[in-house]
Amino acid sequence: MDQWDRYLDPTIQTISLITQYQNFYNQGKFEEANGVIENNPILKRIIVNASTMNKTLDAIMALQRFYFSDFQAYLQNIIQLKGEYASTVKYPKYSVVTYIVHDNTEAFLCLSGNCPIGTPPTNTNFWTPWTARGEKGDSGTGLTPRGTYSITKDYYVNDMVSYNNVWWYATRDNVEVTPSESDRTWVALLKFSADLLTFDNHETTLRSSTFQNALAELAKRGEHVTPVTLTAAGWSETLPYEQTVDVPGGSAELSPIMVSMLPDGAELAAQKAYNKAFGILSSGTAFLNDGSATFKVYKKPAVDITVGLKGV
């Protein structure tokens, strides 16, 4: 953290020094003016000059860079997924565990740096719930089936409809926007053969067991992470720098999330190099093709980096 001094208003004791500084400055005697400040350090907390403003500028730029390129990697590294809760384990701050509550598996985040061993995640003095769950009978978060698409209906974000033997979900509130791959109002979720899928009064009817298999495959795909490696030498020579890598199972219809694959226990130098490269990728763009992914950045990562594509 940079050390910042609080600024002061002029006083009777300092006004003569300020006047001396201003006289030298107005006469163009800048070396003598700076000497007054250096010989009287209290003036650094009263007189605003280029040094003061540059320090403020550097601090603002550092803060902007952090949120622009480093914040996602910071969050991914600070939160530690620990799996199923164990009463014999000492959990550090920001650990996330799963714990069964009333026959439901829920997630909890540790918010204490000194959580005693054996403290159950239901103890809100040390843990906070990470699982959103509505009251019994209410819909939770997620997709809402709205039947067959109708141009006369209003639709809202995460509504799901059937249209042309495809399940689509809405990415924003809309009306009179027919599901199509030409824009991102609707995104294709699942495609079925023409004789497989029908909707009737918001109830889904399938003429085979393929529906259950499709849902299982969708859930499996949503959690699956495909690792891809981008090499430091593999970027193009001109801006924006591009690199295309093989992604088995990749498709332009998918919208994966890039996740960190920093090895557990990596040395500090390796962590810093990885986080810097990951931040560069996060500030760029990427898109999937059939069997590949293309990344575009405006600064080349200095190291080879392996990231995960969740949902492929």
What's the pLDDT tens digit per position in 116-139? 999 999 898 999 887 655 444 444
- pLDDT tens track for 158-187: 888 888 878 888 888 898 899 988 888 898
Confirm if 21 and 47 have CB atoms less than 8 A apart: yes
pLDDT on residue 184: 83
| Residues facing 190 on adjacent strands | 167
| Residue 146 neighbours by CB under 8 Å, 6+ apart | 153, 155, 159, 160, 161, 202
Identify which of 119, 121, 110 has the alpha carbon closest to the alpha carbon of residue 78.
Answer: 110
Q: Tell me which of 2 and 180 has the higher pLDDT.
A: 180
160 touches 148 (CB < 8 A):
no
For 45-57, what is the mean pLDDT?
A: 86
Tokens representing 113 are 């740096």
Q: Which residue has the higher pLDDT, 53 or 143?
A: 53
Residue 215 has, within 13 A of its CA and on its CB side, a CA count of 8
- Selected residue with higher pLDDT from 201 and 236: 236
Query: Whole-angstrom Cα distance, residue 282 to residue 272?
Result: 15
Rounded to 10 degrees, the C-alpha dihedral 85/87/90/93 comes to: 40
Report phi then psi at 168, rounded to 5.
-120, 150
When the pLDDT of each residue in the chain is averaged and rounded to a whole number, the result is 81
**Whether the model pTM is above 0.75:** no
Strands 95-101 and 80-84: parallel
Q: Which residue has better confidence, 261 or 204? A: 261
Length of the chain: 312
pLDDT at 204 over 70: no
